[in-house]
Amino acid sequence: MMQTDEVKKKDLTQKDTLLEVQNLKKYYPIHTGFFKRKTGDVKAVDDISLTLRKGETFGLVGESGCGKSTAGRTILRLTDATDGNIFFEGENITKVSGSKLRKARQDYQMVFQDPYASLNPKMMVGHLVDEPIRNYRNKSHKDLKPEVQHLLKRVGLREKDYYKYPHEFSGGQRQRIGIARALALNPKLIVADEPVSALDVSIQSQVLNLLKELQEEFDLTYLFIAHDLSVVKHMSDQIGVMYLGKMVEVGDNESIYREPLHPYTQALISAIPEPNPLIKKERIILKGDVPNPQNPPRGCVFHTRCPMAMEKCKEFVPQLKEVRPNHQVACLLYENQ
Amino acid sequence: MEPSTNQTVQLAPPKKKSLSQWGIARKKFVRNIPAMASLIFLFVVTALSMSASLLSDIDPSRINPRLVEVPPSAEHWLGADSAGRDIVTMLLYGGRTSLLIGFSCMTIIITIATIIGTISGYYGNIVDSILMRFTDFMMNFPFLIFVIVLQAIFVDSGVLALILVISLLSWTGAARVIRSKVMSEKENEYVLSAISIGTRPSKVMIKHILPNVMSTIIVQATLLLAAMIVAETGLSYLGFGVPVGTPSWGNMLQAARDPGTFENLWWIWLPPGLLITLTILSINFIGEGFKDAFNPKSKK
């Protein structure tokens, strides 16, 4: 289960782009009153862009409710985008629908957050795992049994688990079933939506290591969504930090951890617990709550909680700007750099 | 079940077969004594009614002046009614009609309700609005008056017409219940996960959602079965149900409308009344049993 970190160091710029998301927006309309007139939008995802290269992991972090899961689901076309474009291998999949979309789904799969809710309780594990294959190839359960059992073994389950039902497994084992299911079609991209947040800490590392092993073995690209920065640090090559539907900072893993630029990222990183009790860490404590996304603050959305807020933050919306190599930030503090 | 070709030798205790949720429910149901007793009772009543022609060689509709209102005897266990027809024989044949109507109505209703409820609940939005407005429209027909009028128009229409009329007017409630259950069920992540692996909508509904709302459907079905038998007997009692010549439990109860019979000739109306009560009761016990069996929180 142990795994060395040597694969991480590769020249990232040389690789081809697998997924490109441009100015993605997902608004949920709010209807009020007797006539259900539209009175506003919840801007769950507001203008985010990201690029994922083959074999790479993009970590998307942010506190709960910031729209990271919605972003993941929108990218996989499980909900329709309000605006923006999603290119998968150069092809625009934003408006594809019907059987064409169904066909396209083979290449991108999802691992869900809650392993208790994401497996149909009435189905046998073997049938759960072979379902994606059966959706695309006309094969019987029996034909696929060796393949499925091999997959189960690969994700750390036993062959005879084929005959069991989800309720007989622990959370970690269920998540392994979910991973086997996502792998069954040999996809290129896997969106992992907080795959370990529902699991016990001791199990978390096992599942994360499994994901890393599989990434090498099957040449996978991950969009890794999490709220735990230490998990993201362990997994990702690139990191995007989201706040209230907006991307506030994007950059290389190292660059972000070495020198977080956005005050929000700084606060998040300062909150990672330090295992060594002798090291005193200075924590940046954010005041207040996340503002209501129905009615986000004017100007920079973070100014209500930002320890470094200035007068102009209330008026101008900062745009993402590359201030270090491979490191972009949307903050007015770096406006003149 | 599985071949023991496991290379890794495990000295595990004898393998217990994995129980699906159905298996667990079945186990719980079998341990529920009232429900099992009711199931056996219902089975016996159904079996006896089905084999009515084998058990009794008396023609149930033959009028026999010599036997008019004879009290129970060794030859005629429950006596005969005012037309001289043997009560036991009539009960057997009547059960056939009443249960046939009950079961067929239930089957038709549950089929319609499941189709409409599932599609409506799954697709939501416009599809839901259209189907639910149609359901509301069907709900507007006053059941009793509508049936009575239709039966009055098509007097000689027989049992089949009655089944169709009752079914077409009674599916709305069940459809709504199933729809609401589907709506809550489709919010589960496994539905989204099925879509994400490229499952067709029809398959999502049949393979993922339906098995998970099946408990609701089965409970609805048992309640409907009881309700439909009551509807048949009620209508027949009023004279608007099964044609008078055909024996049914409801038709037999008609005799009790006459005060003289009601006071003095108990063997004419008591047996069908008792049978109806017991049948309905046992169906309801079975329904309760299903409810308990499907409830993951009950510990029976």
Q: Please state the ipTM of this predicted complex.
A: 0.81
| Domain assignments of chain A as residue spans, ordered by start | 263-337
d(C-alpha A224, C-alpha A222), whole Å: 6
Q: Is residue B192 within 8 angstroms of chain A, CB to CB?
A: yes
Q: CB distance from B190 to chain A under 8 Å?
A: yes
CA dist B59 and A213 (Å) reads 79
Tokens read off for A133:
């294959």
Q: Which chain B residue has its CA at the smallest distance from A168's CA? A: B18
Name the residue among B246, B100, B216 with its Cα closest to residue B167: B100
| Count of helices and strands (H, E) across chain B | 14, 0
Smallest CA–CA distance, residue A132 to chain B, in Å, is 5
The CATH number that domain B23-49+99-292 falls under is: 1.10.3720.10
Is A121's CB within 8 Å of B212's CB? yes
User: Any chain B CB within 8 A of the CB of A168?
Assistant: yes
Cα A142 to Cα A186: distance, rounded to the nearest angstrom: 20
Of the candidates B178, B171, B176, which has an alpha carbon nearest to the alpha carbon of residue B107? B171
Q: Is B187 on the interface with A (CB under 8 A)?
A: no
A228-244: b or e for each residue (b if 16 or more CB lie within 10 Å)? bbebbbbbbbbbbbbbb
Interface of B with A in 6-45 (CB under 8 A): 6, 17-22
Task: Look at B197 and A132 and tell me if their CB atoms are within 8 Å.
Answer: yes
Residue A99, C-beta contacts closer than 8 angstroms, at least 6 positions apart: none
- Which tens digit of pLDDT belongs to each residue from A2-56? 444 443 333 444 458 888 888 899 988 888 877 778 888 888 888 888 888 888 8
**For residues A265 and A261, what is the distance between their CA atoms, to the nearest angstrom?**
7
* B208–chain A Cβ distance below 8 A for any pair: yes
Which residues of A, range 184-213, sit inside 8 Å of B by Cβ? Answer: 184-185
Is the CB of A102 less than 8 angstroms away from the CB of B212? no
Please give chain B's pLDDT, 300 residues, in tens: 444 444 444 444 555 567 777 888 888 888 888 899 999 999 999 999 888 888 777 777 777 777 777 777 777 777 777 777 888 888 888 888 899 999 999 999 999 999 999 999 999 889 999 999 999 999 888 888 888 888 778 766 678 888 888 898 889 999 999 999 999 998 888 999 998 888 888 989 998 999 889 888 988 999 899 999 998 888 888 888 888 778 888 888 887 788 877 788 888 888 889 999 999 999 999 988 888 888 766 654
**Beta-bridge partners for A43:** A27
Work out how many CB contacts closer than 8 A connect A with B: 82
Q: Which of B21, B197, B207 sits opposite A109 (nearest CB)?
A: B197
Point out the residue among A102, A106, A112 whose CB comes nearest to the CB of B193: A112
Mean pLDDT by 10 residues, chain A (337 residues): 40 66 89 80 87 90 86 89 88 86 89 88 89 88 89 89 87 90 90 88 88 90 89 89 90 88 88 80 79 83 86 86 87 81
Chain B within 8 Å of A76 (Cβ-Cβ)?
yes
- Asked if B189 reaches chain A (Cβ–Cβ under 8 Å), the answer is yes
